[in-house]
Amino acid sequence: MTHEIFKNTVFCLKDEMYRFAKRFVISSDEAEDVVQDLMMKFWQKKEEIANLGNLKSYAMKSVKNECLNRLKHENVKMGFADFEKNRPESHEVEANNMKEQIIGFINQLPEKQKAVIHLKDVEDFDIAEISAILEMEQNAVRVNLMRARQKVKEKIQTLMDFEHKMIENL
């Protein structure tokens, strides 16, 4: 595999890999380290990687495994970015506020549900790819996705009901 082919097939996945790594580790620096370390490993194994069928799935699975290894062997904080800590002080446009609320709701989900909803709804992987990345049965992926979406939907509905009640009381 030449440098140009590597750049066009593997290196172009770095942004998706970073976003997925960020779901496991809180620190942006740690997520960047994960991606950088994996890119170096991929370059060292470039001939093996050239023969893989689904490179994107392999890369995302590698991110998951690397993050879990780091969490196991190092003192790295686990979880999605702390929504409350990073929340801006000023009130922004209502759409941005709703987006932040939804991110906060997703952050409260169990880890498997967070990973599944991110891979499906943010990264747009199909169920079979998510199954391979997370090493779960496809039915388990579907169930976790359904439960995650249902929980987020319920929390959004509760928030909307609360806002409507507040407006009515004004």
Burial class (CB in 10 A: 0-12, 13-18, 19+), 119: buried
- Across the range 32-51, mean pLDDT stands at 88
Domains in the chain, CATH or no CATH each: 1-79 (1.10.1740), 90-170 (1.10.10.10)
Q: What gap in Å lies between CA 96 and CA 80, rounded to an integer?
A: 18
Q: What gap in Å lies between CA 101 and CA 104, rounded to an integer?
A: 5
- Give 65-94 pLDDT, tens digit per residue: 888 888 777 655 444 444 444 444 433 445
The pLDDT-based confidence of 146 (bands split at 50, 70, 90) is: very high
Residues 151, 105 contacting (CB under 8 angstroms): yes
Is pTM, for the whole model, over 0.85? Answer: no
The pLDDT-based confidence of 148 (bands split at 50, 70, 90) is: very high
Q: What gap in Å lies between CA 107 and CA 122, rounded to an integer?
A: 14
- Give 4-41 pLDDT, tens digit per residue: 888 888 888 888 899 888 888 777 888 898 999 998 89
